């Protein structure tokens, strides 16, 4: 009789364990926060206008997060700028491709956090210090670090709108470095790595040349330039198509990672050396 009671008590306790203790698969997962944060700013080609293919609108990696409009982190998915580039037809931009490429090449970057801030149709003067766009960029940058992540860089793609005005195109050369310097100053990140994109398109050919020259010949510490000229455009001839946006993201990733110190092996020992942080440019073959 005692054995029967002991046996019944054992199964009763086992039953209680399954009832009282929560099922691990049903427990809420711990919120995840990024280690390495990247600001995405500029206009429509950064926000993305590429056609979203099946499967691209769902999260593809738990290690790539995006900052929402309400400053909360969640798994990133296309279109990254849907909440930010209000009223526009957002699609594939370079952001996701950038993050995927960085993680593939540098897994030690940890969880990547993307902070979408781009707004279509905006000129550089609209991003000047004190403007609504500038203040939003700074506020979202600070919000992104609330849980301990560090801002690793700014990805900047802007300038098409400035090719519609001779005055804006001519002033681009002075406005651009001021914008970068002001942002670094207000973020208290004087050496913030910046990867900017030289235009792939615009409105007036002569003004496209003017703006591109300002971008390509910018000489500012820790600023590097990716040349998007020749990347495939959509039917409007202004915005990168899906393939062009993905390729640009890969180029941005390779260029950003060139900021990292390299190492070489000599006689079986590893010697570190620091690369130059002067402006460098990533060109592509226009016929590619």
Helices (H) and strands (E) in the chain, counts: 7, 10
Residues sharing a CB contact under 8 Å with residue 113, sequence separation 6 or more, in sequence order = 33, 34, 35, 36, 37, 38, 65, 66, 67, 73, 144, 149
Residues sharing a CB contact under 8 Å with residue 186, sequence separation 6 or more, in sequence order = 129, 138
Q: Are strands 64-67 and 73-75 parallel, antiparallel or unpaired?
A: antiparallel
Strand partners, 264: 271
For residue 219, count CB atoms less than 10 angstroms from its CB and return exposed for 0-12, middle for 13-18, buried for 19 or more.
Answer: exposed
Q: Please give the sequence-ordered ranges of beta strands (E in DSSP) within the chain, or none if there are none.
A: 36-42, 64-67, 73-75, 112-116, 150-157, 194-198, 223-227, 262-266, 269-273, 281-282
CA triple 60-45-230, angle to 5 deg:
105
Two tokens, residue 165 = 């005005």
Catalytic residue numbers read 44, 236, 239
Report d(CA 171, CA 155) in Å as an integer.
Answer: 21
């Amino acid at each position: 009789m005692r054995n029967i009671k002991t046996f019944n008590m054992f199964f009763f306790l086992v039953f209680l364990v399954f009832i009282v203790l929560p099922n691990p698969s049903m427990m809420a997962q711990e919120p995840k926060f990024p280690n390495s944060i990247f600001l995405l700013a500029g206009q429509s080609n950064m926000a993305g206008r590429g056609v979203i293919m099946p499967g691209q609108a769902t999260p593809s990696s738990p290690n790539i997060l995006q900052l929402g409009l309400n400053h909360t982190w969640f798994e990133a998915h296309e279109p990254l700028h849907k909440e930010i580039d209000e009223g526009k037809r957002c699609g594939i931009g370079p952001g996701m491709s950038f993050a995927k490429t960085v993680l593939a090449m540098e897994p030690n970057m940890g969880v990547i956090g993307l902070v979408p801030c781009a707004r279509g149709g905006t000129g550089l003067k609209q991003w000047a210090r004190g403007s609504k766009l500038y203040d939003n960029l700074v506020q979202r940058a600070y919000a992104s670090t609330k849980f301990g992540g560090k801002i690793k860089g700014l990805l900047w793609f802007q300038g098409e709108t400035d090719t519609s005005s001779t005055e804006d195109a001519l002033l681009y050369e002075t406005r651009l470095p001021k914008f970068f310097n002001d942002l670094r100053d207000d973020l208290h990140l004087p050496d913030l790595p910046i990867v900017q994109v030289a235009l792939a398109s615009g409105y007036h050919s002569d003004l496209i040349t003017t703006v591109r020259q300002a971008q390509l010949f910018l000489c500012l510490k820790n600023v590097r330039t990716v040349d998007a000229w020749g990347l495939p455009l959509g039917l409007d001839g202004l915005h990168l198509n899906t393939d062009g946006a993905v390729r640009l993201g890969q180029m941005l990733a390779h260029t950003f990672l060139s900021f990292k110190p390299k190492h070489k092996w000599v006689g079986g020992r590893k010697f570190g050396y620091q690369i130059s942080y002067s402006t460098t440019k990533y060109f592509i073959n226009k016929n590619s």
